[in-house]
Structure 1
Amino acid sequence: MARHVRDIMTSRLVTVEPQTPVTTVARKMRDEDIGLVLVMEGDELRGLVSDRDLVVRSLAEGGDQEQRTAASACSGDIYALTPDDGIDRAVQLMREHSVRRVPVVDHGHPVGIVSLGDLAVERDPGSALGGISAAEPNR
């Protein structure tokens, strides 16, 4: 059984700059089969855009989505873990802040993401969420 975040995190990161149109962000999510994109300014993590953020902060507001940017849709509060944090810390952080995905940072630089699905696969692979999360993507 994994003991640290580094053991279950996804290390494939997809990033965009703050001025990236939300339509580009959405296409990246679709093409990469992911639900979270990191908003980076240079080497600094500025925010996160989730699939839910796109719906609630962008699409629901209406207007020209080509004019809306990742910065306008991103979650400003960033709750992060380190690779050496324990799995229990990841569960606690997600519960405490009601988030489904958390970036993993090492010395200030993003190195991965831990999702609720990653935790389910690790902790309860026989559960519905564990099974769905472990399945091949629907394309």
Structure 2
Amino acid sequence: MTQQTVADVMTPSPTTVDITDTLRTVAQTMAEQDIGALVVRAGTAAVGIVTDRDLVVRGLAAGLATDTPVQQLVTGQVVTVGHTDPVETAVEVMRKAAVRRVPVLDGDTLVGIVSIGDLALERDPTSALADISRSEPNR
């Protein structure tokens, strides 16, 4: 049996925003795509992830204007995994960095995103997290 790789469980071709895009643009993109997290890039390089919670807690609640660049919400060094890395590597990277989503790279190219939900579906399909991850969004 071959070892499962990140490419086997990731969401391919994630939606991205540029580091210069405004918080309004980021929020509109999330609404249009019905997703809660976007990869933030500077040019072609993944430099972070912004979530709907970031927009509310670190943006709106902190008094940032809607025309503020998303760069102000992206902090620190983004952690990534390679598409050929074993799934266990993604688990360990996420655990050590205490993050829920990680961009997936092929060399320097963004090819996907992997979340704790993706990993739960694969590693423990009967878990509550897997059930939640599998279900349709509730509006």
3-state SS in 2 of match to 1:114? strand
- The residue aligned with 2:129 is 129
For residues 76 and 23 of structure 2, what CA distance do their matches in structure 1 show?
Answer: 16
For residues 54 and 77 of structure 1, what CA distance do their matches in structure 2 show?
Answer: 19
| AA partner of residue 71 (structure 1) | Q
For residues 91 and 47 of structure 2, what CA distance do their matches in structure 1 show?
Answer: 23
- The residue aligned with 1:59 is 60
For residues 51 and 99 of structure 1, what CA distance do their matches in structure 2 show?
Answer: 14
Q: CA deviation at 1:90?
A: 0.8
Q: CA deviation at 1:5?
A: 0.3
**Residue 47 of structure 1 contacts residue 71 of structure 1 at CA under 8 Å; is this kept in 2?**
no
| AA partner of residue 88 (structure 1) | E
3-state SS in 1 of match to 2:103? strand
Q: How does 1:1-139 map to 2 (within 5 A)?
A: 3-64=4-65, 66-139=66-139
Q: CA deviation at 1:34?
A: 1.9
Q: CA deviation at 1:31?
A: 2.2
Please give the per-residue CA displacement for 1:26-66, whole angstroms capped at 9, x wherever unaligned. 221222122221222222222221222222321221142x2
Judge which range, 53-62 or 89-98, deviates more: 53-62
**Residue 18 of structure 1 contacts residue 69 of structure 1 at CA under 8 Å; is this kept in 2?**
yes
**Alignment: residue pair count:** 138
For residues 115 and 19 of structure 1, what CA distance do their matches in structure 2 show?
Answer: 25
Structure 2 unaligned runs (5+)? none
TM-score normalized by structure 1? 0.90
TM-score normalized by structure 2? 0.90
Q: CA deviation at 1:24?
A: 1.5
- Identity score, percent: 46
**Residue 49 of structure 1 contacts residue 75 of structure 1 at CA under 8 Å; is this kept in 2?**
no
Structure 1 unaligned runs (5+)? none
User: Could you list the runs of 4 or more consecutive aligned residues of structure 1 that deviate by over 3 angstroms after TM superposition?
Assistant: none
Please give the per-residue CA displacement for 1:53-85, whole angstroms capped at 9, x wherever unaligned. 222321221142x22111111233210000111
For residues 113 and 77 of structure 1, what CA distance do their matches in structure 2 show?
Answer: 16
| AA partner of residue 84 (structure 1) | T
